[in-house]
Amino acid sequence: MNPAYGYKVWRRHDLGVYFPLYPYSYARSNVALSGAAGGLHRSVYPERSIRDNVLALKTDQITSEEISQLADRVEDTMSSIDNGLDPNLEHFRLFRNRLHGGRNSLRSLSLAPLGSER
């Protein structure tokens, strides 16, 4: 990806949403109750197949060959951990939810009851 395009996309989607710096706090005694993992209980991706969801990310800055290769890699990764679950929900659980639960857990105890599998 062209770095200028990546920066433009970052500015459009993330600037003002995420802070540029997160100060470290030594002592916090609060507990956060998080709504993270809500996507495990609903459809978060518009397409039915994981491949179609990746292909839908195609832009003018990404060639058809590049997006197809990325879709192949995602399918290969998801098939290597196949446990009979919907690949879209499994992808959300293993990647997006794990990495996008917020910054509260960096500083204090954060409970996310929606993330429970049972």
Rg (CA), the chain: 17
pTM for the predicted model, two decimal places: 0.58
pLDDT of residue 65: 95
pLDDT of residue 81: 84
Measure the CA–CA gap between 29 and 113, rounded to whole angstroms: 20
Name the burial class of residue 41, with classes exposed (0-12), middle (13-18) and buried (19+) by CB atoms within 10 angstroms of its CB.
exposed
* Each residue's pLDDT tens digit, 98-112: 666 665 556 667 777
* Each residue's pLDDT tens digit, 50-101: 899 999 989 888 899 999 999 999 999 888 887 888 888 888 877 777 666 6
More confident residue, 69 or 117: 69
What token pair was written down for 85?
């679950």
* Each residue's pLDDT tens digit, 26-53: 555 677 777 777 777 777 788 889 899 9
**HEC profile of 34-94:** CCCCHHHHCCCCCCCCHHHHHHCCCCCCCCHHHHHHHHHHHHHHHHHCCCCCCHHHHHHHH
Report the b/e string of 95-115 with b at 16+ CB within 10 A. eebeeebeebeebeebebeeb
pLDDT of residue 25: 57
- Contact (Cβ atoms closer than 8 angstroms) between residue 7 and residue 86: no
